[in-house]
Chain A
C-alpha cells in the first residue's frame, strides 16, 4: 500500500494497540479526494477497514454504481436518480399502488417491482420469496441510510448485486459454512449433524437476506460493508461466529427445530462482538485483502 506511507506512521501502532479506524478516516478521505474515484481501492479499503459511518452511504453508492466515479457528474446523476425515484413513486401513487400510509420498505419494493417490470396487478397479491428478501433488506437499509432516495437506490442495487454478482456463489455458502465450522469446531458440527440440524439451519436468513433482521443494523452495516465491496464470504464467517458464540446453548439443544428457532432469534446484545470476531475470522481464513494493483 503505497498510500500507507502517506498516512500517519503511528497508524500501525494504533492498530496494534487496538484503536481501529483512527487513521482509516483520513486515508479514506484521501481516497475520496481523487477525481474519478478508484473503485478498486475503495473496495480494498472497505474490505480491510470498517467504513466511517459518515462516508458509508457515499462509498456504498459509488461501489454499487449509483454514483459514477467522477465527482463532477455526481450532482447530475444524483438528480437523475432523484427524479427517477420521484417519478416512480408518483406513478405508483397514481395507480394507487402505494399511499402515504404504506411502509417505506414496501414502497421500495413496489418501486423495485415496477422498475423491473414485475409489479403485480394488485397490491393484494401475495409476495414472492424474493420480495420478502427485498423487504427484509429494505427494512434494514432504512435504518442505515437516512435519505429515502439513497436508501431506495442502495437497496435496489444491493439486491441486484446479490442477484447478479453473487448468484453463483450464494448457493455455495452453506457448504463453505460447514467446512469452516468443521475447521473451527468440529464437535459443534457433528452435534448439528447428529441432530440433523445442519441442513435446516436458517441459510435463507443468513445468506439470502444477508442477516437482515437477524443482527442489529449497527453491526449489520459492518458486514454489509464487505458484501457491498464484493465479498459474500463474510456471511459464512458471521454464521460460523454466531454458532461459536452460542455454542453452549446450541450444544444444549437437541432438536433441529429448536436449534433453528434459536438461531433465527439470537440475542442481539453480543452482535457487535460477533461481527468483529467474524471479520477477524474472515481475515484469518481468507487473508487480509490487498489491493491487487
Chain B
C-alpha cells in the first residue's frame, strides 16, 4: 500500500505544471515499469488516466512495452473485451478490417489461453472466456471466413498450437457449416467494402448466425431447411451416445435445461411437416435402448410440456444469455415458459450424478465456488419467489407486458449507449433493466398456464423440502406429464428423441448412485437444481469432450460436492426468499417498474451476500475454509463480483444480439406487411381482371351480333350484286346487238357513199362532155362566122378583081398607046445604068473584100500582140522566178558568207589569243635575252623567221620591207598592246577586225565603178587586175593575205599614187597564178562577179534586171 500511495503521489505530480517535475516523474514511472513486471502500476495508470484524462499518463501508457502490454490476465476484462469486440465487429466490418490480423491474433491467444490457463485464473472465469472465444470464433468465421480460415491454417499448423487446436478450436469448428464465401469468395473479396455496404449490423449478425450449426446460435431464418438439417442431424448424433444435443451446444453453462426445450420448441414451430420423419428416428433410438428410453422419456416429455417445476431452475438459466434468448422467444410465442423447467431436472441430475461419480474421489472442493454458487443462486431464488409472488397476487401480467413494451424504445436507446460505455454503473443499470424485461417476458406466458401453477408452487416454495421432493418432482413430473403428453404427443414427437438421449447418462448415473444410496447424490441433485451457477456447465462440457478426457476445469465440479456448501446455499436461499417476499410485497404496487425491481433485487442480493459473509459463523463451513487454507472472504466476494460482471457482460452481449434480432424482426415484419399489401393488390388486380374479362365477354357477344349483322348485309349485297351483274350482262347483250346493227347500217352507208361517188364521177364526166361539146360548138360557130367573113371578103376581093381587071384592061389599052416612043432611050439608059451599077457593085465588092482582109489582118496582129504580151508576162514571171531562185541561192551563199565571216572572226580571235600568249612568252624570252644582252641576234632571227614563214608573199615581204620595216622591228621589241600604231594595225589582226567589215564595201565601190567604166569603154590597166585579184582567194589564208596586202597597197595608193607601179607589178605577178580566174570576171562581166560582196551583188542584180528588161522591150 505504501507503494500504492507513492504511486498516487507520483501520479499527482505527473500533472504538475512544472515541466521538470513532470519529466522526472515520467522517468520514475518508466523505470518502475521496467523494473516491475506486475500489472499494478499499469492499472493504476489506466485508472488515473480514466479519472483525469491526464496526457502524460496517456503518454506513458502508449509507450508501454512488454511485458506490461500483455500482462493483463484478468479474465473479466478479457471476456468483457472480447464480448465488446464481438459486439462491435458487425458494426465496423469495414474499418475493422485493418485490424483483422489483430482480431485473429486475439482469438489465437485467447483460445490457447483457454487451454493453458496462465496465472491463477478461476475456472469459472475460463468458462466465460471460453464462451466468449466461441462467440468470437463464430463472429470471425461468419464475417471473414477466408481470412479466418487461412489464419487458422497458418496459426495451427505450428506444432506448439496443435494442442490448442485439438482441444479448443476443433470442437468449435464442429458447430459451423462451411461458409459459402469459402467457395465463392476470396480474401480480398471479403474485405471489399461493397460487400458490407449492403448489410446492416443485424444483417451481419444473422449472416454469422446462419453459418452456425449450434442450435442456440444458429439462425433459422432460411426456413425449414436449416431446422430440418439440425433436426435431422440431432437424431443422427444421438446415435453417438457420447454427445447429447444439449451438451453439444458447447456453451457449457447449464443451458442444457433450456436448449433442448428451445430446440424442440423451434422444431415444433418450424417443422410440423417433418414430424413423422423425426419421430421415426426416436423410435429406432428407443428400440436400441429400451429400458432407459422408456424410463426417461415420459419425464422428458413432461419436461417439455410441464412448466411447474422449472421456474426454480429457469431464472438462473435466464441470466445466461442463451437461456434468455430462448426464454424470450418462447414467451413471445405464447408457449409456456415454464416447460423447460421440468426437463432440466433430469439433465442436471444426470450431470451432477456423473460429476459426483467422478469427482468424488478427488474430493477437493473450493470454497469460492460454493460462495459463487450461493451468490448466483440467491438472486435466482429471489426472483423465483418474486414470480411466485406475482402469481400469488394474481396481478394481470398483461399490464406488465404493456409496460415493458412501452419501455422498449427507451431500453433500446439505452442499449446503444450502454454498448459504448463500459462503466460499471451503467452496466448494472442495464442489467437491471434487462432482467426486469426478462421477468416480465417470462411472466406473460405463465398466465395461461395457471393450471400448472399449483404444482410448481408447491414444489418450489419449500426450499428445505427439496430433498424429499427431488424424487417426487420427477415422479410428479411424470404424473403431470401424461396430460400434455396425450394432448400434444404428436407435436412433441420431435422433442422426444433429443430428450431421449440426454438422459442416457442418467440411468447409468442413477444406477450407479442408487445402489450406493448416497444422500449426497440427492443433495447434489438438488443443488444442481437449485443453483444455476456456471458450475453446471462443466458437466456438459465434459460430456462434450468425451468421457475419456478429463475436462480442463474438472476440479470445478468439486464445488458442487460439499454438503456444507449445499446447506449454506439452502439457508441463504430461504433467507433471501423471505427478504424477497418482503421486497416483492412492497413491489406489489404495479407502479414500480421492473427496472427498479431488478435494481433492488441486485442490491438485496449483494447485501444479503455481504451479510451472510460477515455474520455467518460458518460452523459447517469451517472445515472447508480450513481445508482451503482459510482464504479471506473478501477474495470470495471479488470473485463473485467478477462473475457477476462476467454474467452481466454476457447478458449485454446477448442483449445486443437480441436487439439485432429485434431489428431484423421489424424488417421482416415490414416485409410481411408489404407482402400482404401486395397480395391485397394482387387480389384487387384479380378482381379487376375478372371485371375486364366480363367486359371482354360482353364485347365478344356484341361482336358476334355485329358479325351476324355483317354477314346478313353481306348476303344482301351479294344478291344485289348478282342482280346487277345479270342486268349488266343483258345490257351488254343489247349493246352488242345495237352495235351490230349500227355496223350493218354503216356498211350500207359506205355502199351508198361509194355509189354517190361513182355517180358524181359520172356526172363530172358528163359535164366534161358537155363542156367539150360546148367548146366545139363555139369553135364551130366561130368557124362559121369566119367562113362567113371570108366569104364576104372573097366576094369583096372578087369585086375588086373585077374592078382591077377592068383597070388593067384600061391601063393595057393606055400602055399600048404610049409604049412605042421611049423604049430605045430608056433601054439605052437602062443598059448604061446597069453597067454603071455593075461597075459600082464590083467596086463595092472589091472594097468590102479589102476591108475584110484588113480586118483580118488587124485581128491577126492583135492576137500577135496579145501573144507577145503574154509572152512578155511569162518572161517577166520567169525572170522573177529566176531572180527568186537566184536570190534563194544567193541568200544561202550569203549566209554562208556570213558564217565564213564569223568563222574568220573566231579564228582571228583565236589567233590573236594565241599571239597574245606567244607574245607573252616572247616577252619573257626577250627579257631573258636582254639579260643575256643578245638583242640584235634576236632581231635577225625574227626577220629570218618572218621571211621563212611567208613564202607565197614575196612581194608582200618586199613591199613590207619598205613600209613595215620600221613597224616590224618594234613589234617584237615593244609590247604590242602599248604600241597600237597604224603599222601595227596592218600587221596585226586586231586592227583588221575593225577594218575588214568596213573596208571591203568601200574598196569595192571603187573597183565596180571602175569596172562600169570598162564596160562603157574606158579600160584601165590597173583596175581589172585589182578586180581579178579579189576573187582569187580560194583558200582562206590566201584571202587573208590578200586582204592584208590590199590594205597596205591601198593605203599606199592613197598616200602616193606613183608607187602604184610597184604594186602593179606585184599584182600582175600574182595574177599570173590566178590568170584564169581573173579573166572570167572580165569576160562575163555580169552575174558572176566576186561573190563575197553582197551589196554590190544587189546592185548588179538590179542592173541586170534593168538591162534584160531593156533588151526585151
Interface positions of A (Cβ within 8 A of B): 36, 65, 67-70, 72-73, 76-77, 80-81, 83-84, 87-88, 91-92, 94-95, 114-117, 119
Contact = CB atoms under 8 A, between A and B. Distances in A.
Interface stretch (B334-342, B519-527, B890-898, B1014-1022): B890-898
Contacts of A116: 902
A116 to B, nearest CB: 8
> Which 7 interchain pairs have the tightest Cβ spacing?
A68-B888, A91-B903, A80-B892, A70-B885, A84-B896, A77-B892, A95-B910
Nearest to B877: A36
A36 B882 CA distance: 10
Nearest to A111: B899
B906 A119 contact: yes
B754 interface: no
A117 B899 contact: no
A36 B906 contact: no
B902 A88 contact: yes
Contacts of A68: 884-885, 887-889, 891-892
Interface string B727-771: 000000000000000000000000000000000000000000000
A65 B888 CA distance: 8
A64 to B, nearest CB: 12
A69 B884 contact: yes
Interface of B: 881, 884-889, 891-893, 895-896, 898-900, 902-903, 905-907, 909-910
B881 A70 contact: yes
A157 to B, nearest CB: 10
A92 B899 CA distance: 12
B1037 to A, nearest CB: 13
The dominant DSSP class at the A interface is helix
A72 B885 contact: yes
B885 A73 contact: yes
A83 B889 CA distance: 13
B896 A80 contact: yes
Nearest to B907: A91
Contacts of B881: 36, 70
Contacts of A81: 892, 895-896
Given A69-B884, A77-B892, A84 B899 contact: yes
Contacts of A115: 895, 898-899, 902
Contact of B902 (A72, A76, A114): A114
A73 B892 CA distance: 10
22 contacts: A36-B885, A65-B891, A68-B884, A68-B891, A70-B881, A70-B885, A73-B886, A76-B889, A77-B889, A80-B889, A80-B892, A80-B893, A80-B895, A84-B892, A87-B900, A87-B903, A88-B899, A91-B903, A94-B910, A114-B902, A114-B903, A115-B895
Contacts of A80: 889, 892-893, 895-896
B896 A83 contact: yes
B889 A91 contact: no
**Residue of B881, B884, B899 with highest tally of chain A CB at under 10 A:** B899
A119 B888 CA distance: 27
Contact of B907 (A65, A69, A76, A94): A94
A153 to B, nearest CB: 10
B994 to A, nearest CB: 15
B889 to A, nearest CB: 5
Contacts of B905: 117
Contact of B888 (A69, A83, A95): A69
B898 A95 contact: no
Contacts of A76: 889, 892
Nearest to A114: B902
Contacts of B903: 87-88, 91, 114
B884 A70 contact: yes
B874 to A, nearest CB: 13
**Residue of A67, A69, A70, A119 with highest tally of chain B CB at under 10 A:** A70
B906 A73 contact: no
B169 to A, nearest CB: 84
B633 to A, nearest CB: 112
B906 A91 contact: yes
Contacts of B895: 80-81, 84, 115
B889 A114 contact: no
Nearest to A78: B892
A77 B899 contact: no
**Residue of B881, B887, B896 with highest tally of chain A CB at under 10 A:** B896
A134 B33 CA distance: 116
A95 B892 contact: no
A208 B228 CA distance: 112
A109 B894 CA distance: 20
A80 B891 CA distance: 10
A255 B892 CA distance: 51
A80 B895 CA distance: 9
A84 B885 CA distance: 19
A70 B888 contact: yes
A92 B907 CA distance: 9
A70 B907 CA distance: 35
Nearest to A116: B902
B877 to A, nearest CB: 9
Contacts of B884: 36, 68-70
Given A95-B906, A114-B906, A117-B905, A73 B889 contact: yes
Contacts of A69: 884, 888
A267 B678 CA distance: 86
A67 B892 CA distance: 8
A182 B526 CA distance: 130
Given A84-B899, A84-B900, A95-B907, 16 more contacts: A67-B888, A68-B887, A68-B891, A69-B888, A70-B885, A76-B889, A76-B892, A77-B892, A80-B895, A81-B896, A84-B892, A84-B895, A91-B907, A95-B909, A115-B898, A117-B905
Contacts of B906: 91-92, 95, 114, 119
Contacts of B885: 36, 68, 70, 72-73
A204 to B, nearest CB: 28
A65 B890 CA distance: 12
Contacts of B907: 91, 94-95
Contacts of A95: 906-907, 909-910
A19 B906 CA distance: 53
Contacts of B888: 67-70, 73, 77
A65 B881 CA distance: 16
Contacts of A67: 888
A115 B897 CA distance: 10
A115 B906 CA distance: 10
A211 B512 CA distance: 138
A7 to B, nearest CB: 26
B254 to A, nearest CB: 101
A83 B896 CA distance: 8
A114 B905 CA distance: 9
Contacts of B899: 84, 87-88, 114-115
Nearest to B895: A84
A69 B881 CA distance: 9
A260 to B, nearest CB: 38
Contacts of A88: 899, 902-903
A56 B902 CA distance: 30
B774 to A, nearest CB: 60
Nearest to A119: B906
A122 to B, nearest CB: 10
A116 B889 CA distance: 20
Contacts of B900: 84, 87
**Residue of A36, A92, A116, A119 with highest tally of chain B CB at under 10 A:** A36
A164 B906 CA distance: 25
Contacts of A91: 903, 906-907
Nearest to B887: A68
Contacts of A72: 885
A69 B882 CA distance: 11
Nearest to A90: B903
A36 B885 CA distance: 8
A195 to B, nearest CB: 47
Contacts of A92: 906
Contacts of B909: 95
